Homo-oligomer: A and B are copies of this chain.
């Protein structure tokens, strides 16, 4: 297993945990929690692959199904640790978003789409899972209301192409793009930076 796969799985694990924790808070049963965790982890990539007209990535090998099961077991067994490890999960989650963005850009590129589509697919991969999770548990998607999240994905995807056009090597391009997402995400939370809200239009 190479390094990028390891990080991909770690990101999947962190995304699954975030879904399972929220489902538990809403008293979902264990199977419902599993489903929410799985959709959070693979939902973005699934929508991306359906729009790219290729087979959803998680149907190619069972890793993602298994990782979500481990995440469920983990939450059930180590509930207190899950609380204490909040910050650790936040970091994992940020790493996951970063890597998912890079994976999304590259899968779209491999399918032959233009740059601006690839950037959108990077952002879809990194952020749609969290939106589906929030719709499932019947909340206004958090992503639209707090922090820098989807924008970090867009920024990372743009940086990917800047590196690409500068002729940097593949691995450097991947790392710089993912780090852009991860640092944007972490710094925006740390310094409580958020995008301005549109002022409501009185109707």
Contacts and interface: CB of A to CB of B under 8 A. Distances in A.
A35 interface: yes
Contact of A198 (B24, B131, B138): B24
B51 A53 contact: no
Contact of A199 (B24, B32, B36, B150): B24
B23 A198 contact: yes
Given A23-B198, A24-B200, A138 B137 contact: no
Copies in the complex: 3
Interface in A7-46: 20-21, 23-33, 35-36, 46
Nearest to A117: B59
B65 A29 contact: no
Nearest to A200: B25
B140 A140 contact: no
Given A55-B53, A59-B117, A120-B65, A32 B143 contact: yes
A25 to B, nearest CB: 5
A84 to B, nearest CB: 11
Interface of A: 20-21, 23-33, 35-36, 46, 50-51, 53-56, 59, 62, 65, 75-76, 79, 82-83, 86, 113-114, 116-117, 120, 131, 135-141, 143-145, 150-151, 154, 194-203
